[in-house]
Structure 1
Amino acid sequence: MKNAVKGIIGLFLITVIGCSPYRIVQNKNDRSATWSDYRTFAFIDTNRVASEPGTNYMAAMERIKKEVAAQMLRRGYQQTNDNPDLLVNLGAVVREKTQTRQTTIQEAPLYVGQRRYHWQSQEVPVGNYQEGTLNVHIVDAHRNALVWDAAISRVITSQPLANDELQQAVGKLFEKMPKS
């Protein structure tokens, strides 16, 4: 009995932990880059980016920038403004998407008529939602070459992302960063 309960709890934990709301949608790196040569980083200036009125784009980007900096520091890179080895560019996009479902044969109309009549399954819209994508581009500042291009997505809810959720998202993305 104890083993069955432990098994159920273990399966539950694996299911909960494995079902992350985040999806890595991009992960490309320059295989010729020597990551051990890089020591410092800086963010590309995004203060000139125009955001729509009523959005908290700049505040959200500052939170993301802070978490990306923490991830870079954990990996041994130092933040500087004087001749950095790496430049970090951040971007965020929110897209309106439509959720659909496939029709089934049970939804086919009852029809008695021409012999050539046929029914075909189709996609039916059932709702709209927003999906947010965070893009991280890391550029070798001396060669002016992209060395890592990564992006992570998730469905956006009406509540702003909590700090621990932001840490989880950026941490999951940085797990894919090439090692030095």
Structure 2
Amino acid sequence: MKIFNFIALILLTAWMSSCVSSNVTVEEGSNGEFDLQNYSSYEFLDVEVENSHNEDFKLAVDFLKDEINKQLSAQGLAYKDDGAELQINLGIVVEEKEQTRTTSLATDPFMYTGQRRYTWQSEEIVVNKYKEGSLTMHLVDSESNQAVWVGMVSKIIPSKTEKKQQAIADAVNDIFQEINKTNN
């Protein structure tokens, strides 16, 4: 009996670890009756860019739209310049962030240089700087002008262009996996 319980525990642990949750946050109430198959065409709403002179950002937005085009055309939707049934509104935020750590006597011992009133204090020090991008995608029904699905994903943005494109492709893939969950 103990062996059976042990095997059952191992199987339960393996099953639970295979149920990885998505890193896409879906806005509650935005996907009640939504089914992507109810639409035959889509269009992108304009992306307003604060730093319109940033060519890297423009290229990243174009690549993002290309990845979304691939996903939607694979599901049978056609791109239309104007008058599509489904409108896609993209919100993109890029933040510069810092990774920090707390100093300790074990890793950062003080150096006494003869000052009588020297004190050592633990402090936060920056060990890495990076950029994190957040993509929010609103799928809007053109007829009702209401968002039918809203989801957001955040990822660290690599510094190399080819890795940036892979990160964008992964983010779009994550979003469409979540959309397909709501359609099933």
TM-score (norm 1): 0.66
Alpha-carbon distance in 2 for matches of 1:54, 1:73 = 29
Alpha-carbon distance in 2 for matches of 1:165, 1:31 = 25
Q: Does the CA-based 8 Å contact 2:24-2:175 persist in structure 1? A: no
Question: What percent identity do the matched residue pairs reach?
Answer: 30
Q: Does the CA-based 8 Å contact 1:51-1:58 persist in structure 2? A: no
Q: Cα distance, 1:44 vs. partner?
A: 0.6
Q: Cα distance, 1:165 vs. partner?
A: 4.4
Q: Cα distance, 1:72 vs. partner?
A: 1.1
Q: Does the CA-based 8 Å contact 2:31-2:149 persist in structure 1? A: no
- Count of paired positions: 150
Is 1:94 the counterpart of 2:94? The answer is: yes
Alpha-carbon distance in 1 for matches of 2:61, 2:102 = 37
CA offset digits 1:3-39 (Å, max 9, x no partner): xxxxxxxxxxxxxxx9xxxx83522262333414322
Q: Cα distance, 1:88 vs. partner?
A: 0.5
Secondary structure of residue in 1 paired with 2:183: coil
Q: What is the aligned partner in structure 1 of residue 158 from structure 2?
A: 157
Q: Does the CA-based 8 Å contact 1:102-1:121 persist in structure 2? A: yes
Q: Cα distance, 1:84 vs. partner?
A: 1.6
Query: Where does 1:1-80 land on structure 2 (aligned, <5 Å)?
Result: 24-28=23-27, 30-35=30-35, 36-46=37-47, 49-80=49-80
Q: What is the aligned partner in structure 1 of residue 183 from structure 2?
A: 179
Q: Does the CA-based 8 Å contact 1:65-1:90 persist in structure 2? A: no
Q: Cα distance, 1:125 vs. partner?
A: 3.3
Structure with greater helix share of residues: 2
Secondary structure of residue in 2 paired with 1:174: helix
Alpha-carbon distance in 1 for matches of 2:32, 2:23 = 23
C-alpha root-mean-square deviation of aligned residues, in Å?
A: 3.1
TM-score (norm 2): 0.65
Alpha-carbon distance in 2 for matches of 1:60, 1:166 = 8
Q: What is the aligned partner in structure 2 of residue 125 from structure 1?
A: 126
Query: Where do 5+ consecutive residues of structure 1 fail to align?
Result: 1-17, 110-118
CA offset digits 1:24-81 (Å, max 9, x no partner): 35222623334143222111123x5342534422222111101101111122222223
Q: Cα distance, 1:164 vs. partner?
A: 4.5
Q: Structure 1 61/102 Cα, relative in aligned 2: closer, same or farther at 3 Å?
A: same
Q: Cα distance, 1:128 vs. partner?
A: 2.0
Q: Does the CA-based 8 Å contact 2:34-2:148 persist in structure 1? A: no
Q: What is the aligned partner in structure 1 of residue 116 from structure 2?
A: none
Which amino acid letter does the alignment assign opposite residue 53 of structure 1?
H
Which amino acid letter does the alignment assign opposite residue 156 of structure 2?
V
Q: Does the CA-based 8 Å contact 1:42-1:86 persist in structure 2? A: yes
Secondary structure of residue in 2 paired with 1:56: helix
CA offset digits 1:141-172 (Å, max 9, x no partner): 11111122222222223211444443333112
Which amino acid letter does the alignment assign opposite residue 28 of structure 1?
E
Secondary structure of residue in 2 paired with 1:32: coil
